[in-house]
């Protein structure tokens, strides 16, 4: 933009800060080199799709930091460059976590918490769309109202069932966690898709009590059967008249982040 004090002199436009800094990680058998916006893109990953699980002690060493960002514009630069999840090798993951939380159960922020796990089968377009929308919702603080419950999210490409996870700091505040789960389902607009499952899992060895958390079970060839506190029901469809609008259109490409406007959402930048 032009500096009003010195006509003809161009200065960099101010960027829009996020409420939290975020770090993006990647892990797979074929590592992705760290990326600097404006720098060269990495070469294509190896074609070897054989998965060799790393030893647990090597997990952190196998995490590649793609980059850290603190503004809306930096977020767009990273996500416009990244391959969508469906184009990664099998057994690959993206991790998007608040800095400095590591995407590991052992991290103090995650140790006593849990995660919402959304699963889907053979639907690359839906996987890419859900990850794009979720990433925007996370950095825009749209999944929780004025809190710091969410630690980050993971998208995992697998041979049979792909999954998206939202990690939380706690596992005991059922009402608050169910609120996040309901917002997740509504935000991603998956209530009419086939083959979707949703459940809350603990990061510890114990398991959630039955009928406490929202869950979705896929029924072959139909929509969904859901249960909340043990009572089956049908999730409400997204209703634009009630004020909810998907952050991107269903026809938009998964990587097209650069065209979204910046609003003033809860606790930080929002997407509209």
Residue 43 counted as domain residue: no
Q: Which tokens is 48 given?
A: 């070897």
pLDDT over 50 (residue 119): yes
- Banded model confidence at residue 269, pLDDT cuts 50, 70, 90: very low
Which residues does 172 contact at the CB level (< 8 Å), separation at least 6?
none
Residue 1 counted as domain residue: no
Residue 240 backbone phi and psi in degrees, to 5: -55, -25
| Angle ∠(178,181,182) on CA atoms, nearest 5 | 90
- Banded model confidence at residue 6, pLDDT cuts 50, 70, 90: low
Residue 205 counted as domain residue: yes
> What 3-state class would DSSP assign to 21?
strand
CA 68 to chain CA centroid, nearest Å: 15
Average pLDDT over residues 198-206: 91
CATH number for the domain including 145? 3.30.760.10
- Banded model confidence at residue 231, pLDDT cuts 50, 70, 90: very low
Average pLDDT over residues 219-235: 41
Q: Which is higher by pLDDT, 230 or 201?
A: 201
**Structural domains counted in the chain:** 1
> What 3-state class would DSSP assign to 265?
strand
Residue 141 counted as domain residue: yes
pLDDT over 60 (residue 272): no
Residue 59 counted as domain residue: yes
CA 111 to chain CA centroid, nearest Å: 19
Share of the chain above pLDDT 70, in %: 65
CA 4 to chain CA centroid, nearest Å: 40
Structure confidence at residue 111 (pLDDT) = 95
Query: Which of 144, 131, 154, 195 lies closest to 27 in space, CA to CA?
Result: 154
- Banded model confidence at residue 2, pLDDT cuts 50, 70, 90: low
Structure confidence at residue 4 (pLDDT) = 60
Q: What is the mean pLDDT of the chain?
A: 75
Structure confidence at residue 261 (pLDDT) = 36
Residue 223 counted as domain residue: yes
Could you give the C-alpha distances from 133 to 105, 140, 200, 204, in angstroms and in order?
Answer: 24, 10, 20, 28
The Cα 37–Cα 121 span in angstroms is: 33
Residue 233 counted as domain residue: yes
Q: Which tokens is 192 given?
A: 């009419």
Query: Which of 27, 135, 158 lies closest to 76 in space, CA to CA?
Result: 135
pLDDT over 90 (residue 115): yes
Residue 269 counted as domain residue: no
In the chain the first and final C-alpha atoms are separated, in Å, by 23
Could you give the C-alpha distances from 205 to 112, 134, 201, 208, 235, in angstroms and in order?
Answer: 11, 27, 10, 10, 30
Write out the residue range of the structural domain in which residue 146 sits: 17-38+54-243
Which tens digits make up the pLDDT trace of 49-61? 343 444 545 778 8
- Banded model confidence at residue 187, pLDDT cuts 50, 70, 90: very high
CB 2: neighbour CB atoms within 10 A? 10
Average pLDDT over residues 70-90: 94
């Amino acid at each position: 933009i032009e500096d009003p004090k010195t006509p003809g002199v161009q200065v960099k436009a101010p960027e829009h800060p996020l409420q939290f800094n975020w770090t993006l990680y990647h892990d797979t058998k074929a590592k992705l080199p760290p990326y600097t916006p404006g720098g060269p893109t990495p070469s294509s990953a190896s074609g070897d799709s054989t998965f060799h699980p790393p030893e647990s002690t090597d997990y952190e060493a196998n995490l590649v930091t793609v980059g850290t960002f603190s503004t809306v514009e930096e977020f767009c630069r990273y996500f416009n460059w990244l391959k969508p999840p469906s184009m990664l090798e099998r057994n690959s993951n993206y991790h998007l976590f608040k800095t400095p939380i590591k995407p590991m159960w052992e991290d103090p922020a995650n140790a006593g918490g849990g995660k919402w796990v959304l699963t889907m089968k053979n639907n690359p377009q839906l996987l890419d769309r859900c990850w794009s929308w979720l990433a925007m919702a996370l950095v825009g603080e749209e999944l929780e109202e004025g809190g710091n419950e969410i630690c980050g999210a993971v998208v995992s490409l697998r041979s049979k069932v792909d999954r998206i996870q939202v990690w939380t700091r706690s596992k005991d505040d059922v009402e608050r966690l169910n609120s996040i789960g309901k917002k997740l389902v509504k935000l991603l607009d998956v209530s009419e898709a086939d083959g979707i499952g949703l459940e809350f899992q603990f990061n510890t060895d114990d398991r959630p009590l039955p009928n406490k958390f929202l869950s979705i079970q896929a029924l072959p060839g139909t929509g969904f059967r859901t249960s909340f506190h043990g009572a089956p029901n049908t999730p409400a469809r997204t209703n634009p008249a009630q004020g909810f609008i998907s952050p991107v259109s269903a026809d938009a490409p998964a990587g097209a982040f650069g065209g979204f406007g910046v609003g003033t959402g809860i606790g930080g930048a929002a997407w509209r």
